[in-house]
């Protein structure tokens, strides 16, 4: 009888999702606390019925509820934290049943609502400048199992952009904007770190929007500033009158120009 009980328990464990079998704390989240709000509906509607302060977003409620006044099915939650990041690229990893949205400083980077990704692990690599950033995760549970795990880790350190000497006083090359935001994301980190615009690109979800691959195929932007995608202009690139102006294309990100 004892042996049969052990075998039965092992079989049950084998059927549980990864989140249930490996409740390993998200080690990258050291020191930051999260505020958790829960709603008794799947649409974050009205006032939350439960609020908590938690050190990690690493939950497996199984077939149960997060707490008082929260139903076992058809509930939603929001998790917010302000966390410190070193300069570099961080990999965010989230697994949820059923749906979630990841936002950094109010910009959406992952959204599985209506995408049929329940229970699937999703990742995204994002560049950060050193400092604090707001991280928000929306979560929605419909029926059956309920769990969500959120983690991030530094995968590439960035010592900072190589200092660029100031241009000579007679420089005729057009200046770049120090900060650019378009409907395809905030490109200020890419300007500050002198990295390719694909690192800051975020699709707006429209059917005719450019995708990550098309942005990666572009040359790196050299003149930052809002423009109309795929238009062409000319810039004076030398103070020498014998050097003609050069032709530049506007990036599909609408964040600046690169030379033809």
pTM over 0.85: no
Selection from 105, 87, 254 nearest residue 181 by Cα: 254
Q: Residues of CATH 2.60.120.260 domain(s) within the chain?
A: 16-157
Highest averaged pLDDT of the listed ranges 73-77, 115-119, 127-131, 241-245? 73-77
pLDDT band at 207 (very low <50, low <70, confident <90, very high): confident
- pLDDT over 90 (residue 112): yes
- Helix H or strand E segment including 96: strand 88-97
pLDDT band at 69 (very low <50, low <70, confident <90, very high): very high
Cα separation, 250 vs 260, in Å, equals 10
Give the three-class secondary structure for 194. Answer: coil
Lowest mean pLDDT among 89-93, 168-172, 230-234, 255-259: 168-172
Q: pLDDT tens digit string along 246-256?
A: 999 999 999 99
Mean pLDDT computed over 148-174: 72
Give the three-class secondary structure for 65. Answer: coil
- pLDDT over 80 (residue 4): no
Mean pLDDT computed over 113-139: 93
Give the three-class secondary structure for 121. Answer: strand
CATH superfamily of 16-157: Galactose-binding domain-like (2.60.120.260)
Mean pLDDT computed over 194-211: 89
Lowest mean pLDDT among 30-39, 70-79, 120-129: 30-39
Close Cβ partners of 223 (under 8 Å, ≥ 6 residues apart): 174, 175, 176, 235, 248, 256, 257, 258
pLDDT band at 163 (very low <50, low <70, confident <90, very high): low
Lowest mean pLDDT among 12-16, 150-154, 252-256: 12-16
pLDDT band at 22 (very low <50, low <70, confident <90, very high): very low
% of the chain at pLDDT higher than 70: 83
Please report the pLDDT score of residue 125 as a whole number: 93
53: how many CB neighbours lie within 10 A of its CB?
A: 8
Please report the pLDDT score of residue 12 as a whole number: 42
Cα separation, 214 vs 198, in Å, equals 9
């Amino acid at each position: 009888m004892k042996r049969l009980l052990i075998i039965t328990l092992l079989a049950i464990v084998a059927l549980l999702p990864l989140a249930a079998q490996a409740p390993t704390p998200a080690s990258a989240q050291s020191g930051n606390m999260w505020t958790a709000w829960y709603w008794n509906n799947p649409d974050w509607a009205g006032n939350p019925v439960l609020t908590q302060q938690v050190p990690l977003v690493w939950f497996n409620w199984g077939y149960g509820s997060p707490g008082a006044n929260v139903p076992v099915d058809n509930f939603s939650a929001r998790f917010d934290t302000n966390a410190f990041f070193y300069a570099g690229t961080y990999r965010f990893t989230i697994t949820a049943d059923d749906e979630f949205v990841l936002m950094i400083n109010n910009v959406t980077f992952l959204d599985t609502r209506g995408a049929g990704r329940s229970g699937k692990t999703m990742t995204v690599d994002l560049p950060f400048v050193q400092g604090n950033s707001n991280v928000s995760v929306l979560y929605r549970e419909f029926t059956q199992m309920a769990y969500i795990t959120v983690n991030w880790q530094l995968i590439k350190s960035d010592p900072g952009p190589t200092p660029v000497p100031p241009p000579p006083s007679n420089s005729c090359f057009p200046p770049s904007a120090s900060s650019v935001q378009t409907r395809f994301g905030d490109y200020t980190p890419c300007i500050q770190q002198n990295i390719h615009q694909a690192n800051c690109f975020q699709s707006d979800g429209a059917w005719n929007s450019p995708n990550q691959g098309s942005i990666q195929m572009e040359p790196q932007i050299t003149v930052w500033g809002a423009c109309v995608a795929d238009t062409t202009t000319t810039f004076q690139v030398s103070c020498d009158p014998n050097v003609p102006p050069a032709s530049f294309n506007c990036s599909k990100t609408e964040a600046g120009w690169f030379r033809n």
